[in-house]
Amino acid sequence: MTHAHQRLLIIDFGSQVTQLIARRLRELSVYCEIHPYNRVDEAFLKNFAPKAVIFSGGPSSVFATGAPMPPTGVFDLGVPILGICYGQQVMMHCLGGKVERGHGTAEFGRAYVTPKDAKLPLLDGWFDEGREQVWMSHGDHVSKIAPGFEVYGTSPNAPFAITADVSRSFYAVQFHPEVHHTPKGAKLYENFVRLAGFIGDWTMASYKDDAIEKIRAQVGDKRVICGLSGGVDSSVAAILIHEAIGDQLTCVFVDHGLLRLNEAEEVVTMFRDNYNIPLVHADEADLFLGALEGVSDPEVKRKTIGKLFIDVFQREANKIEGAEFLAQGTLYPDVIESVSFSGGPSVTIKSHHNVGGLPEKMGLKLVEPLRELFKDEVRALGRELGLPDKFIGRHPFPGPGLAIRCPGEITREKLDILRQADAVYIDQIRKHGLYDEIWQAFAAILPLKTVGVMGDGRTYDYALSLRAVTSVDGMTADYYPFTHDFLGETATRIINEVQGVNRVMYDVTSKPPGTIEME
């Protein structure tokens, strides 16, 4: 089987950090895929034709009944294999070594590995300081290495921390090189792929060309519809599909009246004027805001918006004759989660999640051209497709929009104030060169009026809360430490420039215990 790129196969034994292995490899321009151990058999291996294989870590013990095992034939492929943590143990177990239960030798957290023979090419650049910090997380440990293997590094509780059978190119380490707490871990992966003969042919330019070919082959002469949110993922998906099939793509942008200042115009201009992509702009502010009148419960707000969104999208999509496909910006982390053997939701539920079951209801097939990419790779692809940096680097914006930044009842007056205040706040952040340092920043309007004094008069206006967080994935977050000068200047600007606000506060809650959004 020939493939467009050299491919590396990661066999997943259930570690929490398997995705990080893929990240480290993609950073080295190596194409890799993660597959659960129980979905990989000999036929799969033959078809996948990996140039190297990595066994991930995992929570199991090789002694457990039904313990995860590598697929038959993997050791006979004649390609380099790297085993990590459980991956090491299972490798030793299969090849004639011995694994023992923890009993006093478990190791969790930071440890130091010292060299036994630093000449192993896998360890080029390691041990300059005599020992190297690594991250351990194991209960069981290898007590006897398999025939043909030698020891190249030890830690106090892992006498076989780094082992290798150089003649067969089998490498096995007890620690996790993919995590940040193993500072030279990336170097170890770099050495591994180099000695496996990878040339680093996974580039965004080549990905783009392949993806365009695939979309053409999948869609033929049929039509595709794509829901646009103005976010990066759906925009990149739409522009890529447009490059592939031109006017066979129609985008639908549902404006629910809860967007930021000028957002609808920016999205519509970019797609219609800059890219000439057919775009239906459904201006449904009255519909959404009407339905939200008097609603202050956060869950009712979300459900109302979600349901109306689907109704409008479906109505608009029905008008597009001959549409057989629905495009979605599903990313690789969603795909990995959905195929996880350890209880992730099924593929169907997950991949349809974004549009609430629409594809089945409407009899549409999915086009998901980003399903092999991580978020930062989507941004790189966006750049490759010529999207402006300003657009690509935009902070995330939630589907329910300003509704969840307006706790309590939503009114048009409050939304107008919020839009203007948010624009001033973001302008301040950009002017101070902080936008890219911050993961997400926004203003929220509080359900609260306070007394102030402006000029010689009394004011009774809304209070605003500003939020800015740093985060990696939005799951946890910390507040951004603005200087007092910045905060003071921003509060002054907002109160001077936005009528209806007389008080500004800065939210210093982390997540947890807070969430990023107000609701």
The strand pairing partners of 98, in sequence order, are 144
Shortest separation between residue 507's beta carbon and ligand XMP, angstroms = 12
Residue among 217 and 472 whose Cβ is closer to ligand XMP? 472
Sign, CA torsion 230/231/237/239: positive
How far apart, in whole angstroms, are the C-alpha atoms of residue 339 and residue 349? 11
Sign, CA torsion 255/260/264/267: negative
Residue among 1 and 475 whose Cβ is closer to ligand XMP? 475
Selecting among 138, 176, 242, 352, the annotated active-site residue is 176
What tokens appear for 130 in the block? 């005599």
Catalytic annotation on 178?
A: yes
How far apart, in whole angstroms, are the C-alpha atoms of residue 24 and residue 6? 16
Shortest separation between residue 395's beta carbon and ligand XMP, angstroms = 8
Sign, CA torsion 382/387/390/394: negative
How far apart, in whole angstroms, are the C-alpha atoms of residue 281 and residue 316? 9
Shortest separation between residue 286's beta carbon and ligand XMP, angstroms = 22
Shortest separation between residue 474's beta carbon and ligand XMP, angstroms = 4
Contact present, 171 and 152 (Cβ < 8 Å): no
Sign, CA torsion 212/33/169/179: positive
Shortest separation between residue 306's beta carbon and ligand XMP, angstroms = 8
Catalytic annotation on 281?
A: no
In residues, how long is the chain? 519
Q: Name, in order, each residue with C-beta under 8 angstroms of 265's C-beta and a sequence gap of 6 or more.
A: none
Distance in angstroms between the alpha carbons of the first and the last residue of the chain: 51
Shortest separation between residue 211's beta carbon and ligand XMP, angstroms = 23
Residue among 356 and 399 whose Cβ is closer to ligand XMP? 399
Sign, CA torsion 58/75/28/381: negative
Selecting among 32, 85, 226, 251, the annotated active-site residue is 85
Catalytic annotation on 176?
A: yes
Residue among 176 and 352 whose Cβ is closer to ligand XMP? 352
Residue among 476 and 492 whose Cβ is closer to ligand XMP? 476
Shortest separation between residue 370's beta carbon and ligand XMP, angstroms = 15
Residue among 89 and 234 whose Cβ is closer to ligand XMP? 234
Selecting among 178, 316, 372, 377, the annotated active-site residue is 178
Give residues in contact with ligand XMP (CB under 6 A).
Answer: 396, 398-400, 440, 474, 511, 515-517
The strand pairing partners of 53, in sequence order, are 9, 81
Residue among 194 and 511 whose Cβ is closer to ligand XMP? 511
Distances (CA, A) of 143 to 59, 93, 100, 174, 430: 18, 10, 6, 12, 56
Phi–psi pair at 54, nearest 5 degrees: -120, 130
> Catalytic residues, which ones?
85, 176, 178
